[in-house]
Amino acid sequence: MIQKKSFFSTFASTVSDWSGKPMTFVVAFLLVLAWAVTGPVFNYSETWQLVINTSTTIVTFLMVFVLQNSQNRDGKALQAKLDELILTSQASNKYVGAEKLDEKELLAMSKDLEREAVVLEGKAEAKATSRRRAAAPKTS
């Protein structure tokens, strides 16, 4: 059940995609270079400095919201996919929604998983050893 994206989500996705392209960096670099080259023309005045300071501050301020929106949506989509994998596998369903737990609960869950991993690693090693023994040529 996929819903139509809101205007801001579409805008944020588009801006995020463009902001990560090499050409966008080149354009930004050329703008800064053009500003720097005009320094002598404007005698490095306070207004000349204010142009770059104000421009970069405004762009940075707005980009924080745009990129955060994209990152939040990406994180939620990834979490939904992981939850689906958990629910359709033999994994324990107790991990669905784990991102909503507090730090203490997450730490406890992480330690439980570490213990389970050690146990499984031991079982796998024992099984591999028994297979190697069974496959070894018998000498009489």
User: What value does the mean pLDDT of the chain take?
Assistant: 89
CB within 8 A of 15, min separation 6: which ones? Answer: 63, 66
Residue 140 lies in a domain: no
**Residues 72 and 120 reside in one and the same domain:** no
Residue 1, pLDDT above cutoff 60: no
> Which range (72-76, 91-95, 112-116) has the least confidence?
91-95
**Residues 31 and 81 reside in one and the same domain:** yes
Residue 98, pLDDT above cutoff 90: no
What per-residue confidence (pLDDT) applies to 55?
96
Residue 114 lies in a domain: yes
**Residues 82 and 105 reside in one and the same domain:** no
User: What is the rounded average pLDDT of the residues 37-52?
Assistant: 96
Would you call 123 helix, strand, or coil by DSSP?
Answer: helix
**Residue 107 structure tokens:** 């730490």
**Residues 106 and 84 reside in one and the same domain:** no
pLDDT digits (tens, 9 = 90+) for 12-28: 889 989 998 999 999 99
* Helix locations, 38-139, DSSP H: 46-87, 103-135
Residue-range definition of the domain harbouring residue 112: 101-134
pLDDT digits (tens, 9 = 90+) for 50-79: 999 999 999 999 999 999 998 998 999 998
**Residues 25 and 89 reside in one and the same domain:** yes
CB 13 within 8 A of CB 5: yes
What per-residue confidence (pLDDT) applies to 39?
96
**Residue 84 structure tokens:** 């689906």
**Residues 57 and 20 reside in one and the same domain:** yes
CB 96 within 8 A of CB 86: yes
Q: What is the DSSP letter of 43?
A: T
Q: Which is nearest to 62 in space by CA: 21, 6, 16, 30?
A: 16
**Residues 61 and 114 reside in one and the same domain:** no
Handedness of CA 121, 123, 129, 132 (dihedral sign): negative
Q: Which of 49-58, 101-110, 123-132 has the highest mean pLDDT?
A: 49-58
CB within 8 A of 94, min separation 6: which ones? Answer: none
pTM equals 0.61
**Residues 82 and 113 reside in one and the same domain:** no
